[in-house]
Amino acid sequence: MFEEKTYNSILNTALSRVPNDIDKREGSVIYIAIAPMAFELSELYIKLEQFLNLLFPDTATGEYLNKITQEFGIERNEATYSVRKATFYKGETLLDVPLGSRLGIDSIIYEVINKLDTGVYEVKCETAGTIGNTKFGNMLTIDYIPDLTKAILSDILVPGQNAETDEELRNRFYEAVSSVAFGGNIADYKEKTKAIEGVGAVKVIPTWNGGGTVKLILLDSTLNVASETLIRLVNDAVGSDGSGIAPIRS
């Protein structure tokens, strides 16, 4: 918008307004007086251009893009924590361990958060982001666990996600404003379900089992088949009994 407002163009315009009977050659008093002003104005136009770019969703970045999308109720997705499956043994026998126990693998630490079966638990990575999805195999204890001889980190139950990039947020914003979400329509279900931690994609099938029913088909944030844990989290958040963000039948 202000590409023509360069130092030279501003300087020449200012000098052109000085009467020709006054010495305005480079090095003259009037030239030396005007040149610094021209430089400052050219810097100001550069900053003004940058400021204007921060006011529109196609060019805004960082916190300025956040402010634009927040006006439409769209928040940037923060980094989330991976939830994994871990199996614990005493010798070759499955072993129950205390909730809250902490174990590590290659400096990545996980906390035992939920029992799935004898010796089988959900563990949550203490570091947000996709790094919690990357390691598999033997874990070492950080907290003492009596009788434990082996701990194996395996399945990804809820993938960890990195914080949403500007481009990802921008695309989600455009998708949301181009299809108006209203009162339980398909766009509403998509928007609310994709906002749930761990969900990467969703297909909405309306009236799948008669009037008032909706079916959701999910992929996790890595675009793989959703685990039973993620399905349970979505079911709880949406509310199969009408207690969540939308009425839905499992």
How does pLDDT run along the chain (250 residues), one tens digit per residue?
677 888 889 999 999 999 988 888 888 999 999 999 999 999 999 999 888 889 899 899 999 999 999 988 888 989 999 999 999 999 999 999 999 999 999 999 999 999 999 999 999 999 999 999 999 999 999 999 999 999 999 999 999 999 999 999 999 888 888 766 556 677 778 878 888 888 888 888 887 777 667 888 888 888 888 888 888 888 888 876 666 666 544 4
Q: What is the pLDDT of residue 247?
A: 55
Which range of residues forms the domain containing residue 221? 179-238
* Domain finish residue from 35, 70, 105: 70
Residue at 170: amino acid letter = R
The answer for 242, left when phi > 0, alpha when psi is -120 to 50, beta otherwise, is left
Locate tokens 């916190």: which residue? 63
Same domain, 186 and 135: no
Same domain, 97 and 145: yes
Residue at 161: amino acid letter = Q
Residue at 16: amino acid letter = S
Same domain, 66 and 92: no
The domain total for the chain is 3
C-alpha 219: how far from its chain's center? 16
Residue 244 within any structural domain of the chain: no
The answer for 217, left when phi > 0, alpha when psi is -120 to 50, beta otherwise, is beta
Same domain, 151 and 106: yes
Burial (CB count within 10 angstroms: exposed 0-12, middle 13-18, buried 19+), residue 3? exposed
Q: What is the pLDDT of residue 118?
A: 96
Say how many CA atoms lie within 13 Å of 3 toward its Cβ.
1
